[in-house]
């Protein structure tokens, strides 16, 4: 998605060897006009796929999931929770995920009645790095007996291995911008998207 690559180059900021900050339009401040373009692009990428529900994880995945859900005819969105609030008193599917940016391990949870057997799930997130969150969401879907239509990330840092991990699980991956490496503080995109 060229508009995304342009936006990353003009507004993103590389920190150290592996962090790309895009908090000006995606995960702190959200450019809601651009968000619509992201939703449309995911719809295009997964055109022809039946999607019953979109699964994501709090917090940055929520905006992307809701906008994409609208493009799929306003299907429901379920976001996995990272902490267990005392309002959750019923059975959950859970799976652990290490947070790349926070250095912590979160136990992602989804209440059982919100993911059903045979349901066709599109899993979305803002970033795909080492794939920890994505793998945890796929595990949750598997535990529920749901079918994962695919995994979509706005930005994929391919060099961190997450994409390969998910594809090795047999899940289709679509990333709107894939970064091969950082060079002199700038992202170098792969040529295939």
User: Which parts of this chain interact with a copy of itself (CB under 8 A)?
Assistant: 15, 19, 21, 23-24, 28-33, 35-36, 58-59, 62-63, 66-67, 69-70, 74-79, 81, 83, 85-89, 99, 101-103, 110-111, 114
Is the CB of 113 or the CB of 164 nearer to a copy of itself? 113
Q: Compute the least distance from the CB of residue 124 to a copy of itself, in Å.
A: 13
Q: Compute the least distance from the CB of residue 191 to a copy of itself, in Å.
A: 27
Long-range Cβ pairs for the range 106-114 (8 Å, 24+): 106/82, 107/82, 108/57, 108/80, 108/81, 108/82, 108/133, 108/136, 108/137, 108/140, 109/80, 109/81, 109/82, 109/84, 110/55, 110/78, 110/80, 110/81, 110/140, 110/144, 112/144, 114/78
Q: Compute the least distance from the CB of residue 192 to a copy of itself, in Å.
A: 27
Q: Compute the least distance from the CB of residue 120 to a copy of itself, in Å.
A: 16
Is the CB of 9 or the CB of 15 nearer to a copy of itself? 15
Q: Compute the least distance from the CB of residue 103 to a copy of itself, in Å.
A: 7
Is the CB of 11 or the CB of 193 nearer to a copy of itself? 11
Is the CB of 90 or the CB of 168 nearer to a copy of itself? 90
Q: Which residues pair with 125 in a beta bridge?
A: 153
Q: How far apart are CA 39 and CA 66, in angstroms?
A: 8
Using alpha carbons only, how large is the chain's radius of gyration in Å? 16
User: CA 66: distance to chain centroid?
Assistant: 12
Q: How far apart are CA 94 and CA 112, in angstroms?
A: 9
Is the CB of 9 or the CB of 88 nearer to a copy of itself? 88
Is the CB of 114 or the CB of 159 nearer to a copy of itself? 114
| Interstrand relation of 77-80 and 19-21 (parallel, antiparallel or unpaired) | unpaired
Q: Compute the least distance from the CB of residue 167 to a copy of itself, in Å.
A: 26
């Amino acid at each position: 998605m060229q508009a995304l690559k342009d936006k990353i180059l003009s507004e993103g900021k590389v920190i150290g060897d592996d962090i790309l900050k895009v908090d000006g339009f995606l995960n702190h401040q959200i450019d809601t006009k651009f968000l619509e373009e992201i939703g449309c692009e995911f719809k295009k990428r997964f055109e022809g796929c039946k999607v019953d529900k979109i699964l994501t994880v709090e917090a940055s995945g929520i905006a992307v999931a809701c906008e994409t859900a609208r493009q799929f005819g306003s299907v429901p969105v379920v976001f996995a929770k990272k902490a267990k609030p005392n309002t959750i008193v019923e059975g959950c599917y859970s799976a652990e995920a290490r947070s790349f940016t926070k250095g912590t391990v979160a136990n992602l949870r989804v209440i059982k009645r919100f993911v059903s057997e045979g349901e066709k799930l599109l899993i979305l997130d803002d970033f795909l790095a080492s794939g920890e969150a994505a793998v945890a969401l796929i595990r949750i879907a598997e535990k529920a007996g749901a079918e994962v239509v695919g995994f979509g990330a706005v930005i994929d840092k391919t060099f961190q291995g997450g994409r390969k991990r998910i594809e090795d699980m047999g899940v289709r991956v679509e990333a709107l911008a894939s970064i091969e490496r950082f060079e002199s503080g700038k992202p170098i995109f792969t040529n295939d998207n």
